[in-house]
Structure 1
């Protein structure tokens, strides 16, 4: 599978590289060290990441803002794949774009039957094996997606996120000694950020 290009931004444009910086910016609250390493790997400065996020927010809140799907197509180009998806009683369509920061993941936009964007987050790339998730020790930052954690530690209860692009799951899982613990896992853009003991 190809990777989302990391080309430098042209004047007035918003590129896949800029979008990856937006993803990182939302994750910096939980994992600043991981974000810092990823930013250096992309060869961009902290100021560039902040500027990309600022421009993204301006795109979202502009009185002339385009629809979510149109915005993603203008930034990321045409999706690498479009796949029918059944969600409950709804027939949806999943659009996928590869992401160079996480080669095993794709950015997914899920379209409702009326064409509106129903969900948008990172998922495992087709044909890529999910990580082994057996104990809490396996739940390290950036190790898995929402769906993978929910499947590995079913039944998991979804929780309302603390901010846009954030999700939570509550479930019980064994620790390294086999003792089952109640935990809350927090995700940003669908990617695990941290786990904590459930209060």
Structure 2
């Protein structure tokens, strides 16, 4: 996807309007990617503010990891829109082989996003006890947004895997989808339980 068409070069209001429009993309995958990246930004904010109040070696490592990860979940927004556009194009032109390749990609992108969200969610869980109480709400909210992005990506997989003609590919996508949701749910529960 060209820079001019990227989600990240649009104004926020434009992205919201495009998401609400009567057009195929951006949809739940792109919205999930943006949501997860904003959530990760909140986690990073909590780490940066806490680190400014006094250095902690473990927190500093978490901060560096969050800085390195920031942008990765969001990059899947453009990938998701491109994958679905490619699928629709192949379907419209009756390109059976290309349609199946595009269907596999349309499933692979949100699964990759969900993997990235898991990494960000693990980071949020590890960051929460290392942040100052005044910004723990940012980390907690960030984790909830990351989890929402993961869940949206996996809902996208549910919709896209029906286009896979190979039953074993459908089964594998379904198993991976369920595992990622379960791991994400467990991570969010861990953070919520540690905050009680």
| Structures share fold, TM-score greater than 0.5 | no
Higher relative contact order (CA 8 A, sep 6+): 2
Structure showing the higher helix proportion among its residues: 2
What TM-score do you get using the length of structure 1 for normalisation?
0.25
What TM-score do you get using the length of structure 2 for normalisation?
0.25
Structure showing the higher strand proportion among its residues: 1
